[in-house]
A and B are shown apart, each in its own frame.
Chain A
Amino acid sequence: MPAISESSARLSVLDPDVALMLEVRDGSPEAFARLMEKHQARLLGVLVNWSGDRQEAEDLAQEVFLRVYQTRAKYRATARFNTWLYTIASNLLRNHKRDSRLRKAASPLPVSESGAIGPLRHLSSADGGRQESSADSPDGEELAKAVRNAVAGLQERQRLAVLLNKFEDMSYTQISEIMNLSEKAVKSLLARARANLREALEPIISPTSGERRAKP
């Protein structure tokens, strides 16, 4: 059984998931199941909003957890557990997107009836009614759709940075470790993402701005 260093022990106190992951590394399936239960909802949230396809997101989430378990021997308690988890997820998404691009190059993108564009094309129909909808009224549904489309319109890296920041409340430092970027690059990435979101959602947040622009 590998010895736990002082820094690992300290980190385990700060982040209980680190202690669980160390148990997983030592071969505890129960600890792994607990980690999964704890993180799957937020991970799925990031993946669903990143990919736009509920089934695809579930498959990806499962693949992420499988990889966490398969690479458990390499785990070192040098950062929070979710940094490790989302680093694996980020690498998986990069490969997944590359493979999808190759597949899409062979077949044209189907146009959805809902009008959703990009990666969120399946969300409105393929969520199986399981998602917690933030839209209770028709207006709420329209708003939710507009927000989904705005996020879908972001560049992939911007989208991931936004989702990590929003769903996992991650700092620039953590996002930079996960995405293998400098903190400055993350800062810039999030600033551009916010500017793009503001532009896409301007008709909602400031309905008169569109009219103002239209008038000379």
Chain B
Amino acid sequence: MTSPDPDATSKAERISAWIDGELSEDAKDRFGEEMGKDPSLRLEADLTKAAWDLLSHLPKPEPNPSLTQKTMTLLQFGELGVASNTSAKKAGQSAIVMIGLWWTGLVMLLLGSFFATRAMTGIHSRTTDSKEPFFWLDTASVRPEIRSDTEFLKWLAAPDRFGSPEP
């Protein structure tokens, strides 16, 4: 990309400022003198101004007569919408807080009831000591060689275990 010629840029900017009336009085006089001496500058300035003046052919559309009304209606709805949204948000937040409080209360009540009942009735959770025998009979202390209930029953059923039957 080539950089623009500084002289050309400066000239174009001066022509542009001259058209816009943005040159100071001194600068305007100097530019006028320069154009008098330099016909090519005069031509360039005139062509640029002529092109600029053609912009008066750009469309100047008439706005839709209902634009103001439509915008005002939108604004009214917008304001109401903002208001109702805010109210709805606040109401929603309150409802969530209330539901949260209700649930917390209910859970606390249930937990309280559970522990109170437990304390009063003495119900404990079942121990995991499932190896504890149903009957308290230490078979090992009777006969150490007996290792199972079946062996113990066989030992009990021995014919002379409790003496011989009476004749």
| Chain A contacts to B: CB under 8 angstroms | 29, 32-33, 36-37, 40-41, 44-45, 48-49, 54, 57-58, 61-62, 65-66, 69-70, 123, 127, 130-135, 140, 143-144, 147-148, 150-151, 162, 165-166, 171-172, 187-188, 190-192, 194-195, 197-198, 200-202, 204-206
A191 touches B57 (CB 8 A): no
B13 at the interface (CB under 8 A from A): yes
B-side binding surface: helix, strand, loop or mixed? Answer: helix
A151 touches B68 (CB 8 A): no
Closest Cβ of chain B to A181, distance in Å, is 14
Residues from chain B with a CB closer than 8 A to the CB of A198 are 47-48, 51
Of the four ranges (under 10, 10 to 19, 20 to 34, 35 or more), the interface on chain B belongs to 20 to 34
Closest Cβ of chain A to B24, distance in Å, is 13
Residues from chain B with a CB closer than 8 A to the CB of A131 are 59-62
B55 touches A66 (CB 8 A): no
A205 touches B54 (CB 8 A): yes
A-side binding surface: helix, strand, loop or mixed? Answer: helix
A36 touches B61 (CB 8 A): no
B59 touches A127 (CB 8 A): yes
Closest Cβ of chain B to A84, distance in Å, is 17
| Chain B contacts to A: CB under 8 angstroms | 9, 12-13, 15-17, 19-20, 22, 47-48, 50-52, 54-64, 67-68, 70-72, 74-75, 78
* Known A-B contacts A29-B72, A187-B17; A143 and B59 likewise in contact (beta carbons under 8 Å): no
* Known A-B contacts A33-B72, A205-B54; A132 and B60 likewise in contact (beta carbons under 8 Å): yes
A105 to B95, CA, bound (A): 46
Residues from chain B with a CB closer than 8 A to the CB of A133 are 59
Residues from chain A with a CB closer than 8 A to the CB of B60 are 41, 45, 131-132, 134
Residues from chain A with a CB closer than 8 A to the CB of B57 are 134-135, 140, 143-144, 147
Chosen A-B contacts, 11 in total, with CB atoms closer than 8 Å, are: A62-B74, A132-B59, A132-B62, A143-B54, A166-B55, A187-B22, A191-B13, A197-B55, A198-B51, A202-B51, A205-B51
A194 touches B67 (CB 8 A): no
A131 to B151, CA, bound (A): 114
B59 touches A144 (CB 8 A): yes
B70 touches A132 (CB 8 A): no
Residues from chain B with a CB closer than 8 A to the CB of A165 are 20
A195 to B9, CA, bound (A): 10
* Known A-B contacts A36-B67, A61-B67, A166-B55; A172 and B20 likewise in contact (beta carbons under 8 Å): yes
A201 to B58, CA, bound (A): 13
CB contact between B55 and one of A127, A162, A204 (< 8 Å): that residue: A162
Residues from chain B with a CB closer than 8 A to the CB of A205 are 47, 50-51, 54
A140 to B64, CA, bound (A): 24
Closest Cβ of chain B to A211, distance in Å, is 15
CB contact between B16 and one of A66, A69, A148, A187 (< 8 Å): that residue: A187
A148 to B60, CA, bound (A): 12
